[in-house]
Amino acid sequence: MGIGTVPIVMIVLAAVLVAVLVFVLASRMIVYVPNSKVGIVEKLWSTGGSISTGILSHDQRAGFQVDLLRGGLHFFTPFQYHIHKVPLVTVPQGRIGYVFARDGKALQSSQVLASNSVANNFEDARSFLRDGQKGPQRKLLREGTYALNLALFVVITGDGASFNIYSHSLSDQDKTMFQGMAKLIADRNGFSPVVIGDSDDTIGIVTIHDGMPLIDGEIIAPMVGDAQNDHNNFQNAEAFVQAGGKRGRQHQVLLEGTYYINRLFATVEMEPKTVIPVGFVGVVVSYTGLKGEDISGDTYRHGELVKQGCKGVWEMPLLPGKYAFNVYAGSVVLVPVTNFILKWANEITASHKLDENLSEVSLITRDAFEPTLPLSVVLHIDYRKAPLVIQRFGDIKKLVEQTLDPMVSAYFKNIGQNRTLIELLQDRSQIQNQASQEMRDRFAMYNLELQEVLIGTPHPPKTSGTDHIEQILAQLRDRQVAREQVETYKLQQLSAEQERSLREAEAKAGQQGEITKSSLAIEINENMGKAALAKAQQDAERVRVEARANAERLKQEGEGEASKVQQIGLANAAATAKQVEAYGGPQYQMLQQVMNRIAEAAENGHLALVPQIMVNGSGAGGTSGSPAQGGGLIDGLLAMMLSDKLNAQEANALPKNAGKPAVT
């Protein structure tokens, strides 16, 4: 290399050195910040020295400065400042950002989160350092982009279990702390808002982790003012604390909706709504509220009954429906108000499960049998008296197991001791009615309405190994079969008698036409005989009248004619006597006419002159029966004819002067 070339090299080196110096100076004096970022200014040295407290300087001392650099070119004194370019903080839509202040006033002993009552603009770091507190903030960042001084603030946001930490110059210790905070928020699903009623019918039970503590005796925080206007349903944490809200579980619940709640300030527990089904009421036992006046009366000594909103058992139950009831503020005891059945039966349980521990009642009868008796009891509870039942027993199952079970068992044990096994079986209906009447008053003492007692069939215990009851029942069945057979025989005998009467009636009905004809013929002949007899009597009377008339006439004609008349009369009398002797007199003539009529009737009516059945009522030494007894009409007429004939013969056998007065 020649001597002339040395200055050229020196000039080039000098030029490069100058260029580097100019570049370095330019980079220290001129800073470009893109619009997607902000610049955190770090002052390397200052004539006023470094900051004495905190980590940010707001009086131009050395250290991180409060004010940010936004997008564009910025000019600084060379070698005095260092600019840290950090991204803007972006909170995605539907997500929540949590802010942690690394500088500010210290928290008070009662605080968990920093107050934002005054310092609530995180983008104004200068005013925040003047009034704000360090630590996790009560105020949240909603979706959007924020230009924050990340030397002062740390922002944690995320989606589900994943999270993003916006910060600058974190030490390993700081990274560990903020990662733990982010994980806690993610475990509480704190990066997303609280959504209630999206897919199920629930309410939100809120637990506050900041604010004044509960006073002694309280187990749940009371409601604070107007929840909607005062703190917007816990979404405005600062307003909640300023309104006097207390930490702990809150009496107020969250209903359907979306709520942006700081999960470091409050956690939300999902609980199903309280459902009172149809046929039930819900008796409320409140654990919180003011002490109310007992309205159950002086004679009721089973607890206090209070108005709604007070601590204790509410006087009015909840009717069927859905209720946003805070299960930590009280309990709702379901009470059936329709008729329900309790079964004292082994291995049988109703759907309400109130009788799952009940079993059949063991009895000892008067005749030393030991059956078990299944029972069913139908109950009803007046919905207005349901609070009294809960006040006395706590719940319906305790009522059943601790009161009704021993009471019902003892009652039927007493019933069993007074009856034999057969009486227990046969008097079931009577025992059932008696039990319903007598036990109704006992149940009324416990504010219960007994509807009916139903008794099953006693049977031996399964562990007995013998079945004496079945033997007794078999004997009863045999006895009943014998009774039924006796009744059957009686009915069969009666049926046979009725059948015989029926056959006789049918036979008589078959001959009814002939009987009717013969009866009419007899009646006609009797009437004709009576007519002939009457005519003969009239003729005889006429002859006598004529004779008396002739006698009177002859008497008047004189005594001379007397003998003549007498002779004529005697002649007439002799003629009449001959007539009587020849024909039998008027009775005989009448009888002859009757016989003629009977012969004609027999011929026309085809009547048998000789009876088909002859019943002779005479015995040894007796006389023959009368015509009505079987001799018949013909026998009677023959007897009459013979009687008249004999009388006529006896009259002829007498002397001629017999019966006549002697003539002197």
pLDDT digits (tens, 9 = 90+) for 504-514: 888 888 777 77
Mean pLDDT to the nearest integer, 161-169 = 89
Domain boundary among 163, 192, 221: 192
The pTM score is 0.63
Average of per-residue pLDDT values in the chain:
82
Residue 343 domain-assigned?
A: yes
- Same domain? For 117 and 59 the reply is yes
- Same domain? For 475 and 421 the reply is no
Quote the pLDDT of residue 24. Answer: 62
pLDDT tens, position by position, 624-651: 444 444 445 556 656 655 555 555 555 5
Residue 74 domain-assigned?
A: yes
Q: Sorting pLDDT into bands at 50, 70 and 90, what band is 622? A: very low
Domain boundary among 192, 226, 241: 192
Supply the CATH number for residue 421's domain: 3.30.479.30
Phi, psi of 631 (to 5 degrees): -70, -30
Q: Write out the residue range of the structural domain in which residue 471 sits.
A: 467-512
- Same domain? For 206 and 355 the reply is no
Max CA separation in the chain (angstroms): 252
Quote the pLDDT of residue 109. Answer: 87
Quote the pLDDT of residue 661. Answer: 44
Q: Sorting pLDDT into bands at 50, 70 and 90, what band is 613? A: very low
Give the C-alpha distances (Å, rounded to integers) separating 181 from 186, 187, 190. Answer: 9, 10, 11
Task: Provide the CB-side half-sphere exposure for 410 (13 A, CA).
Answer: 8
- Same domain? For 201 and 184 the reply is no
370 contacts 464 by C-beta, under 8 angstroms: yes
Residue 547 domain-assigned?
A: yes
- Same domain? For 377 and 424 the reply is yes
Quote the pLDDT of residue 579. Answer: 64
Task: Please list, in sequence order, all residues whose beta carbon lies within 8 angstroms of the beta carbon of residue 488, skipping any fewer than 6 positions away.
Answer: none
Residue 5 domain-assigned?
A: no
Residue 9 domain-assigned?
A: no
Quote the pLDDT of residue 561. Answer: 58
Task: Please list, in sequence order, all residues whose beta carbon lies within 8 angstroms of the beta carbon of residue 56, skipping any fewer than 6 positions away.
Answer: 63, 64, 65, 66, 103, 125, 129, 149, 151, 152
Residue 508 domain-assigned?
A: yes
From the list 312, 320, 307, 246, the residue with the least C-alpha distance to 279 is 320
Q: Looking at the predicted structure, is the pLDDT value of residue 295 above 50?
A: yes
Sign of CA dihedral 335, 339, 344, 345: negative
- Same domain? For 223 and 208 the reply is yes
pLDDT tens, position by position, 179-231: 999 999 999 999 999 999 877 889 999 999 998 999 888 899 998 877 667 78
Q: Looking at the predicted structure, is the pLDDT value of residue 105 above 70?
A: yes
Residue 350 domain-assigned?
A: yes
Q: Where are any strands of DSSP class E within 25-159?
A: 30-33, 37-43, 56-57, 63-69, 72-75, 81-87, 89-91, 97-101, 135-141, 144-146, 153-159
Mean pLDDT to the nearest integer, 389-410 = 91
The span from the CA of 2 to the CA of 23, in Å, is 32
Domain boundary among 161, 192, 223: 192
- Same domain? For 314 and 390 the reply is yes
- Same domain? For 233 and 265 the reply is yes
pLDDT tens, position by position, 251-275: 999 999 999 999 999 999 999 999 9
Quote the pLDDT of residue 296. Answer: 73
Buried b (16+ CB within 10 A) or exposed e, 152-191: bbbbbbbeeeebbbbbbebeeeeeeebeebbeebbeeebb
pLDDT tens, position by position, 513-539: 777 888 888 888 888 888 888 888 888
Phi, psi of 264 (to 5 degrees): -80, -20
DSSP-based three-state secondary structure for 511: coil
- Same domain? For 100 and 176 the reply is yes
Mean pLDDT to the nearest integer, 131-153 = 94
Mean pLDDT to the nearest integer, 460-468 = 70
Mean pLDDT to the nearest integer, 311-323 = 93
- Same domain? For 160 and 290 the reply is no
Task: Please list, in sequence order, all residues whose beta carbon lies within 8 angstroms of the beta carbon of residue 596, skipping any fewer than 6 positions away.
Answer: none
Mean pLDDT to the nearest integer, 558-587 = 65
Mean pLDDT to the nearest integer, 109-130 = 92
Mean pLDDT to the nearest integer, 69-76 = 87
- Same domain? For 64 and 148 the reply is yes
Mean pLDDT to the nearest integer, 495-503 = 88
Quote the pLDDT of residue 352. Answer: 83
Q: Sorting pLDDT into bands at 50, 70 and 90, what band is 499? A: confident
The larger pLDDT score, comparing residue 3 to residue 535, is at 535
Query: How many separate domains does the chain show?
Result: 5
Phi, psi of 407 (to 5 degrees): -65, -50
Q: Sorting pLDDT into bands at 50, 70 and 90, what band is 394? A: confident
Helix, strand, coil percentages in the chain from 3-state DSSP, rounded to 5: 40, 20, 35
- Same domain? For 443 and 490 the reply is no
Pairing of strands 63-69, 37-43: antiparallel
Residue 38 domain-assigned?
A: yes
